[in-house]
């Protein structure tokens, strides 16, 4: 495996985890802020839906999208590394070892057993 690709993949996954954790923290903070404002009467939800949704979008939801994008990029890098690794492994296999015998080269086992019986060959 390519060391550079592994570092890129791990970095993307770590950044995705950080963005996801920040999104969760931002959502909890926004929820508490809105709940406190409603309970004290400073904010009314009715008529302020846009403001409430905008607060959640600005503080948390966009970071979930960033986390999803970073995770997907890391997954693509990982998938490409696996493809390259499989191609290299196929190149390393000796073609003589994997030569497939044609049907005309194969001898049925029944014929081999019959031949052993006729010659009197015994298994050691």
Within-domain flag for 95:
no
Q: Which of 15, 10, 27, 1 is nearest to 68 (CA)?
A: 15
| Domain encompassing residue 30 | 14-84
Question: Is the pLDDT score of 123 beyond 80?
Answer: no
Q: Are 22 and 83 in contact (CB under 8 A)?
A: no
Within-domain flag for 122:
no
Within-domain flag for 27:
yes
Q: Which of 70, 73, 74, 83 is nearest to 18 (CA)?
A: 70
Query: How does pLDDT run across 36-56, given as a tens digit for each residue?
Result: 988 998 888 888 888 888 988
Q: Which of 122, 21, 37, 121 is nearest to 70 (CA)?
A: 21
Within-domain flag for 92:
no
Query: How does pLDDT run across 13-28, given as a tens digit for each residue?
Result: 999 999 999 999 999 9
Within-domain flag for 120:
no
Q: Are 78 and 12 in contact (CB under 8 A)?
A: no
Question: Is the pLDDT score of 83 beyond 90?
Answer: no
Within-domain flag for 109:
no
- How many folded domains does the chain comprise? 1
Q: What is the pTM of this model?
A: 0.61
Within-domain flag for 53:
yes
Within-domain flag for 39:
yes
């Amino acid at each position: 495996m390519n060391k550079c690709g592994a570092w890129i993949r791990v970095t993307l996954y770590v950044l995705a985890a950080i963005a996801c954790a920040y999104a969760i923290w931002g959502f909890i903070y926004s929820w508490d802020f809105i709940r406190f404002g409603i309970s004290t009467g400073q904010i009314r939800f009715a008529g302020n839906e846009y403001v409430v949704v905008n607060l959640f979008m600005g503080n948390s939801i966009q970071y979930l999208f960033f986390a999803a994008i970073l995770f997907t990029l890391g997954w693509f890098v990982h998938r490409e590394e696996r493809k390259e690794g499989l191609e290299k492994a196929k190149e390393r296999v000796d073609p003589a070892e994997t030569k497939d015998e044609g049907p005309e080269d194969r001898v049925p086992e029944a014929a081999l057993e019959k031949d052993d019986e006729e010659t009197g060959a015994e298994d050691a």
